[in-house]
Structure 1
Amino acid sequence: MQEIITSIQNWMALRSQPDQLVELFNHSSGFELDMSLFPQHQPLHAYAAVKDNGEFGFYVISQVNDVNSPDEVLSANCFWCGCEGLKSQEITEAVALARIDLWQTDYPEWIPEVVTTPFGIYETFFIPTEDLQPQTYSVSFALKADAVNPSGKIADLILNNGAGVYYDTVLGEPPYRDRSSYYILDLL
């Protein structure tokens, strides 16, 4: 569990460092998420993390397991999803690809802007899973228009099932929908 905590703390330390964040994202456009590892139809928490060796990724845990429990239980239910250079509610392929393209072109300018906002860059993502099957999804970083500030952009994740179906139900946090459901943050 200590590696998980340290890796999340490493991310927290980088959240206000735009140059280092841009460098991380220069080599990462997403990750693979194997839904068969998690209880079906339960939301997931994806904690951004950077291992001591510099590897960037997310520790993903089901919300039902992100609770006060022994370290070995938390560790056994928390899965590493290392970020890699992937190039590629259900949304259309055109919208998904536009958001992914917006990320790929705008993240170097977006990161320095977002780290100065009150909440900064995300700590976690909340991933609803009602429509997801127990299979592997490609997850791509994306940006979308901010509903509160249409001239602004917010972080997004696009899930692709590999058969031309794209999902966009993810919420970057903070602000948290329910901070009390993120037990791992209490360990930092």
Structure 2
Amino acid sequence: MTALLLIDVQRGFDDAAFWGRRNNPAAEANIKALLDAWQMRRDPIVLVHQDSVEPDSPLRPGQAGNDFTTELDGARADLVFGKEVNSAFIGDVDLDAWFERHGIDSFVLAGIQTNFCCETTARMGGNLGYDVTFALDATFTFDLAGPDGAVLSADELSRSTATNLHGGGFATVTSTARILG
């Protein structure tokens, strides 16, 4: 059985002053399309939210930025939980055990940020033996400066994630249309 795993689809990522320039303005529509398909088929849906411990983060619990975006309004989720680190496999719930109890051996992953929580969760899922499908166009990220001060664009970081996951055998990287087709 294949679950839909939506990572950190939260309002706090709309704060451009905090995060900077993002890529993939179609991500939310693609996330919604995946969610609608899973809901229609009554397949398992897992929603994970980042509970940041950083004092300045818009993703801290107890503030509006921690809430899910409107694309997830009315979602019929089978499991909802928080995490304080990048991987959804290290959170308030033992996701690996939950998947095992529910006969889930594969998942489609979408959400925010492509190169952090989404990539980390996909890598761990692949390492744990799951068949992971990474909906690249249903993720987005932000420009990021490296240790030398050089900035990689959000698009470059997304391409790097796709290459890492594909080249490392962690996940099948594809599009929402292919997943739904």
Same fold (TM over 0.5): no
Q: Which has the higher helix share?
A: 2
Q: Which has the higher strand share?
A: 1
TM-score normalised by L of structure 2: 0.25
